[in-house]
Amino acid sequence: MKLSTKGRYAVMAMVDLASTSKGSPVALADIAERQEISLSYLEQLFAKLRRGGLVRSVRGPGGGYLLAHAVDQTRVSDIIVAVDEPIRATRCAPGSPTGCRVNKSRCLTHDLWEELGNQIHLYLSSVTLADVCARRVLGTSGVIEHEAGENSSSPMVAAE
């Protein structure tokens, strides 16, 4: 399962907005330059984020975008849902009683993939913009990489 660029870019842009805003509107052109995202693509994403109630726009000179809520109240899952990014690992329609196989049955691994999608959504719902900005989502991946860098004879080697 892979999150598309739409979801990743929306989260990247929102984290940028959260970390640079300081109460003043931020121009999308500035976010686009810092995050190396096409301005036209960012405009499309922010239109969806605005409709989703996550950002508000300020028109005129010095205008741009502001977060609609505090950084500790904006969850990563809210951002992904606002840009219409599905958080699921099955081919079946969410909540459908039938499966995606030709005979409308569910495959043997359907429940496994559906629960994976649920776990991903739960995790992204537990992480806020404040967590990402404060780098509180490092987890064990950073620990393994850090340990490997400190002691090259360690059996734990970070994968590239």
Domain contains 101: no
Strand blocks (E) in the chain: 55-58, 64-67
CA distances from 125 to 15, 25, 51, 63, 140 (A): 15, 26, 19, 30, 19
pLDDT tens track of the chain, all 160 residues? 567 889 999 999 999 999 998 889 999 999 999 999 999 999 999 999 999 999 999 998 889 999 999 999 999 999 999 997 766 666 666 666 677 777 877 778 788 888 888 888 899 999 999 999 998 887 655 555 555 555 544 444 444 3
Q: Residue 99, by phi and psi: left (phi above 0), alpha (psi -120 to 50) or beta?
A: beta
Domain contains 72: yes
Question: Containing domain of residue 75, as a range?
Answer: 1-85
Question: Rounded to 5 degrees, what are φ and ψ at 56?
Answer: -130, 150
Domain contains 30: yes
Total structural domains within the chain: 1
pTM, rounded to two decimals: 0.77
Domain contains 129: no
For residue 51, the domain's CATH number is: 1.10.10.10
Domain contains 12: yes
Domain contains 116: no
Domain contains 112: no
